[in-house]
Structure 1
């Protein structure tokens, strides 16, 4: 054993010498879901596009998406059984900063090639949505509000925000139909019933999968997001579809706020193509 080092320290020191091969593996956290996973896969893709062999480690949660995005798993994701002793483990989190961790062009290229470029379950879900709602509103509730720790970080006055965002969307033209996509539709029925005064309101079919919900966001010509990485990816994909003229381009609205755990509470994931709601009555902490 090396002098003055514990066994674990000595092992780590030896591994740091061994793990100097050409291949890098992003150490994907085991507890993150699709919205966060996509940022790790994006990072691996942009490094590979530069000729740098970087991959993302497969997790039990990421395996759920292998059939939906097979090309992505063929090229960007490796399992633990495929790890090499010489692979460099890269622990970088959360890799979500638009304009810092990736550019708009890199984001578009990843979406076009890995999410839309080949026949996939996701492409099939998109094809089923015809016509899309005039305005889709994505409301993230779940553990953001049910778990005290996350509520302290992520909660804000969603009702007041939706009022402001809907008014901004109305300024671009009459709203003829609204679709609510949420992990808590009961809360939406209770708190957002006033939306029916603006236009007929619908929701996804019973039992709609997460993949189908993502497709609903991506297909919408006008989209209002809350502070959700899942929602952000719906907006990113919508940008690509609108640019290809598959859907009429009208706009995406998102809150400037993401989390009190982020510098300045700011949502640094927001695309520079989106309309940002900078403030709401009473403030984000109101």
Structure 2
């Protein structure tokens, strides 16, 4: 099967927000309209035992991990029908960091028309996975990595018993209006409230901030230094060192980012970590609602063991409106 040309970062975001050229938007809409009918028709001939998950173009590491976890748990439930995640541009660093993911990944050159496939994002961690399944994936596929364990060892001197690690997402959450309207929380207000709640349980020895915009954090979260020493430094190990810092911590404050959530899942799989998160992950401006798990106020990617941080004035962290 011939692989399509990789998307640039600009094309990836444009496709997600619907700002790509009109012919592309019409093609995407046409495909989405026909997909249910096409899927039913193709299912009559796609009968191989393998099931291949296909990620959206907008997906990156945090989202891919949900799909790799789904493929892993599928195999545990039905070993005779192995599941895979189709390889996509940008996955290779993750596979190199966590070699066990290679076995769960379908190379594009081996992907055929006749293989069963599935799409969507299984990120409702309390409903898409049975108890213990996510931890089993983490232990077998992530914590088994010698490369990642090396990162854990490297960060250990700066992550102590009462260290608080903060994961701050910026980037396109704030630079792209469409994405900002859905995900852009009041970061400063949220961090202040989360720290206030956390201080009722522990006296921080130091803060370690991981972010895609450390300079912004240094300028806007400087108040943390009034409580304890704080580090905004970006380590030489890149994003996997950031992930290791979260995984090694017992106290975490996360913004609404899947990368951060995985830091929380791994930390809780390793120890009794306390994880603070905003009480919202995504806002739907059209429906004017927070996107949550079915029949629940819990955001889909939030573990039930996470501590939800509510706005002190009962406002929505994204819109600023009173709820």
- Rounded to whole Å, the distance in 2 between the matches of 1:283 and 1:12 is 38
Contact 1:177–1:200 (8 Å) recurs in 2 = yes
For structure 1, which segment, 201-210 or 124-133, has the greater mean C-alpha deviation from structure 2 after superposition? 201-210
- The size of the alignment, in residue pairs, is 270
* TM-score after normalising by structure 1: 0.87
Partner of 2:19: none
Can you list the C-alpha shifts for 1:104-154, whole angstroms capped at 9, x where unaligned? 4111000000001242x2121112122315101111111000001101111
Partner of 1:108: 135
Contact 1:224–1:254 (8 Å) recurs in 2 = yes
For structure 1, which segment, 187-196 or 14-23, has the greater mean C-alpha deviation from structure 2 after superposition? 14-23
**Structure 1 residue 14: deviation in Å?**
6.7
Matches within 5 A, 1:1-286: 15-51=42-78, 52-74=81-103, 76-91=104-119, 93-119=120-146, 121-131=147-157, 132-133=159-160, 134-242=163-271, 249-261=272-284, 264-266=290-292, 267-281=299-313, 282-284=315-317, 285-286=319-320
**Structure 1 residue 169: deviation in Å?**
1.1
Root-mean-square deviation over aligned CA pairs? 2.2
Contact 1:25–1:54 (8 Å) recurs in 2 = yes
**Structure 1 residue 65: deviation in Å?**
1.5
Runs (5+) with no aligned partner, structure 2: 1-33, 293-298
**Structure 1 residue 49: deviation in Å?**
0.6
Contact 2:210–2:234 (8 Å) recurs in 1 = no
- 2:92 aligned counterpart, secondary structure: helix
- 2:44 aligned counterpart, secondary structure: helix
**Structure 1 residue 280: deviation in Å?**
3.8
Judged with a 3 Å threshold, the aligned counterparts in structure 2 of structure 1 residues 144 and 280 are, in CA distance, closer, same or farther, namely: farther
For structure 1, which segment, 228-237 or 100-109, has the greater mean C-alpha deviation from structure 2 after superposition? 100-109
- 2:155 aligned counterpart, secondary structure: coil
Judged with a 3 Å threshold, the aligned counterparts in structure 2 of structure 1 residues 208 and 63 are, in CA distance, closer, same or farther, namely: closer
